[in-house]
């Protein structure tokens, strides 16, 4: 597969009254054409800032890209001006936001809002754009698209509005689609439909997708690879099977342990990660997760761990993978989900790798 996106050593901060918030701290990852990458983590971990930085949507100031590259089809988006980015947003990179009502203009018919994107980026006539809008509404599963194209957002349910937002994002056939928690505001049944829709659309269009979420369970059947973020850094990355069935970082263990399982006793309490994320105006020395990590060692409070290689595609940023570290077993709620992953091995990676 050919590389579409390569994010290298990205650092983003925001100047606030309380000081400089180091929101993204040395993030590395890549995305191939036709692939889905899920970025997972708690609120405040840096997921949305990372995705919005790719689109160059963070306000500058107070936001600032301190370091790094965002190579999209070989072009560094960090070096693009706002005017140049206007030609890329919507055309080459589409974005689906969390709340569809904030993405749609309540005073405009949905067909006009989709057509507006097509007229601007695809240079279609208004008649051609309306015909294409009807096709897109049909693609995203809106019934009676010929009639619905002339309706306003308030005449659609929440799930249908999100489908309209997806249609807008797909209007110009973007190479990359960024979905920032697109199902959070929806009920479970509609959430499943939207996830299934995105999978189906990707098969039809071969669009690459970055899926942002705080819920590991949401990405299990959607993503090809997963990157787990904590305190502005990627702490584990691998294929879905590797992260779900052979997790290596204690933070990933905590996320998995907090997921309900149909196999467990219904009276069993869900696990919770103790404590709160660190204050990123003054990031902690060593491993940022150490104060919340029941398996933390002395070195975790003194020195930041490198990214350790578990397999060709699996990396984790924890001192527990050092050859001299004591052997620690994950909690029972996690080991019950784990299974051997063929060819797994562990060695430290000192050079730059995805997720470092």
Instruction: Using alpha carbons, list the distances in angstroms from residue 260 to 243, 279, 289.
Output: 17, 29, 23
* Residue 352, pLDDT above cutoff 60: no
Kindly report the CA angle at 286 between 282 and 288, in degrees rounded to 5? 60
pTM: 0.87
Residue with tokens 């203009």: 105
How confident is the model over 262-274, as a mean pLDDT?
66
Is the pLDDT higher at 266 or at 332? 332
Q: Do residues 165 and 110 make contact, with C-beta atoms less than 8 angstroms apart?
A: no
pLDDT in tens, 269-308: 677 888 889 999 999 899 999 999 999 999 999 999 999 9
Q: Which residues contact 6 (CB under 8 A, 6 or more apart)?
A: 30, 31, 69, 70, 71
What pLDDT, on the 0 to 100 scale, is given for residue 79? 93
pLDDT in tens, 190-210: 778 888 888 888 888 888 999
Sign, Cα dihedral of 71, 74, 76, 77: negative
What pLDDT, on the 0 to 100 scale, is given for residue 249? 95
What pLDDT, on the 0 to 100 scale, is given for residue 206? 85
* Residue 349, pLDDT above cutoff 70: no
* Residue 2, pLDDT above cutoff 80: yes
**Rounded Cα–Cα distance for residues 36 and 15 (Å):** 32
């Amino acid at each position: 597969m050919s590389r579409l996106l390569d994010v290298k050593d990205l650092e983003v901060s925001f100047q606030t009254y309380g000081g400089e918030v180091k929101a993204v701290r040395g993030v590395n990852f890549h995305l191939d054409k036709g692939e889905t990458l899920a970025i997972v983590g708690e609120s405040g971990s840096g997921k949305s800032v990372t995705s919005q930085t790719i689109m160059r949507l963070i306000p500058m100031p107070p936001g600032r890209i301190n370091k790094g590259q965002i190579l999209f089809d070989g072009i560094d988006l960090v070096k693009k001006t706002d005017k140049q980015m206007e030609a890329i947003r919507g055309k080459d990179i589409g974005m689906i936001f969390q709340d569809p009502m904030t993405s749609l203009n309540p005073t405009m018919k949905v067909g006009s809002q989709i057509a507006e994107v097509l007229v601007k980026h695809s240079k279609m006539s208004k008649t051609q754009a309306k015909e294409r809008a009807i096709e897109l509404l049909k693609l995203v599963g809106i019934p009676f698209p010929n009639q619905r194209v002339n309706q306003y957002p308030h005449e659609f349910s929440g799930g249908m509005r999100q489908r309209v937002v997806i249609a807008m994002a797909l209007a110009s056939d973007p190479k990359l689609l960024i979905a920032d928690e697109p199902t959070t505001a929806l009920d479970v049944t509609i959430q499943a439909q939207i996830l299934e829709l995105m999978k189906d659309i990707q098969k039809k269009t071969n669009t690459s997708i970055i899926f942002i979420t705080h819920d590991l369970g949401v990405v299990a059947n959607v993503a090809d690879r997963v990157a787990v973020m904590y305190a502005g850094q990627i702490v584990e990355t691998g294929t879905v099977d590797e992260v779900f069935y052979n997790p290596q970082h204690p933070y990933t263990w905590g996320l998995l342990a907090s997921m309900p399982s149909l196999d467990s006793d219904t009276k069993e309490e869900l696990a919770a990660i103790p404590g709160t994320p660190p204050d990123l105006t003054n990031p902690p020395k060593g491993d940022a997760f150490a104060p919340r990590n029941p398996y933390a060692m002395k070195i975790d409070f003194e020195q930041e761990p490198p990214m350790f290689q578990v397999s060709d595609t699996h990396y984790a940023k924890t001192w527990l993978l050092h050859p001299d570290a004591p052997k620690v077993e994950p909690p029972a709620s996690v080991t019950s989900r784990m299974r051997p992953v063929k060819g797994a091995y562990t060695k430290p990676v000192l050079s730059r790798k995805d997720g470092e």
